[in-house]
Amino acid sequence: MRNFFIMKKVLFIIAALCMCQPAFSQEAEKIKQVFPKNEIKINVPFFLLPGITYERLLSKNIGLGLSAEPSLQWGKDVYVDAGFHFRITPYSRYYYKAFFIEANAALSRLESKNKFGVGGALGCKFVSKKGFIGELYIRGGSFVDNMQGGYLIFGVAIGKQFQ
């Protein structure tokens, strides 16, 4: 008989806990803030051959991107015309408020030779409420092969964010 009362108490406690569970699940859910994760931008200074950039935002502070643009070369006191050469630059950015710092690598085709370089950038990014983007940045680096030279880009980009 004693086991019956113990069993009755255990079943009562289990039933009470099961009834309370829906009340605890009614807590306010954390609302996930949705932000646009993709951006496409055009570098404005090169009107004839504009640079095009795609960026994927991993969070509000981190982004990964790929930029394809006409290039300028410095080294050996020679400046090469921007319309005849190109550069593909993958990069990673860290954002702090409106400013960013960037680490990048560059694959350039200059003077009929492929060159690989590493570098960085500093800049600021402005985003409107409707997702339009304005960016100002300076990106530069040096080539890692045995040839002297490097790359330097002053960017003024406009673009749009989207999901």
* Average pLDDT along the chain, 163 residues, taken 10 residues at a time: 66 68 54 75 74 90 88 48 66 93 86 82 92 91 77 86 87
15 backbone dihedrals φ, ψ, rounded to 5°: -65, -40
Rounded Cα gap, residues 72 and 80, in angstroms? 6
Question: Within 10 A of 125 (CB to CB), how many other CB atoms are there?
Answer: 21
Q: Which amino acid is at 110?
A: L
Query: Which secondary structure element, helix H or strand E, spans residue 8, and what is its range?
Result: helix 2-24
Q: Look at residue 80 in the predicted model and tell me its pLDDT.
A: 46
Q: Look at residue 116 in the predicted model and tell me its pLDDT.
A: 86
Q: Look at residue 98 in the predicted model and tell me its pLDDT.
A: 87
Domain ranges of the chain: 38-162
Question: What's the CATH number for 38-162?
Answer: 2.40.160.20
Of the candidates 136, 117, 138, the residue with the CA atom closest to the CA atom of residue 41: 136
Inter-residue contact 34 to 159 (CB < 8 Å): no
Q: Look at residue 2 in the predicted model and tell me its pLDDT.
A: 62
Q: What is the DSSP letter of 130?
A: T
Q: Look at residue 125 in the predicted model and tell me its pLDDT.
A: 93
Inter-residue contact 86 to 109 (CB < 8 Å): yes
Q: Look at residue 95 in the predicted model and tell me its pLDDT.
A: 93
- Interacting residues of 2 by C-beta distance below 8 A, sequence separation 6+: none
Distances (CA, A) of 155 to 34, 35, 145: 28, 24, 25
Helix (H, G, I), strand (E, B) or coil at 98: coil
In 83-149 the beta strands, taken as DSSP E runs, fall at 86-96, 99-110, 113-127, 132-143
Q: Look at residue 53 in the predicted model and tell me its pLDDT.
A: 92
